[in-house]
């Protein structure tokens, strides 16, 4: 993690370490977010899975038309 003089106030989930990060963050490639609070960031993988499910359903619906 690096010291940022103007840290982002959002919360992030690190997919490599499986930890929630705030203010000081790891590399962007490892992060999901930003999220508005720590509890939401802890649910990042569930949120991503649900968004993927919804996008897949929308794609399937579009392809059926």
pLDDT-based confidence at 65, cuts 50/70/90? low
Q: Is residue 51 part of a domain?
A: yes
Q: How many domains does the chain have?
A: 1
pLDDT tens per residue, range 38-49: 999 999 999 999
- CA distances to 7, 10, 27, 47, 65 from 14, rounded to whole Å, are 16, 13, 9, 14, 38
Q: Is residue 56 part of a domain?
A: yes
State which residues form the domain around 56. 11-64
Q: Is residue 4 part of a domain?
A: no
Q: Does residue 42 or residue 62 have the better pLDDT?
A: 42
pLDDT-based confidence at 1, cuts 50/70/90? low
Q: Is residue 6 part of a domain?
A: no
């Amino acid at each position: 993690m690096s010291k940022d003089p103007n840290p982002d106030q959002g919360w992030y989930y690190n997919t490599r370490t499986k930890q929630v990060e705030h203010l000081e963050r790891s590399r962007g490639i490892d992060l999901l977010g930003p999220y508005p609070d720590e509890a939401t960031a802890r649910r990042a993988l569930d949120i991503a899975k649900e968004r993927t499910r919804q996008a897949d359903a929308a794609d399937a619906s579009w392809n059926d038309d």
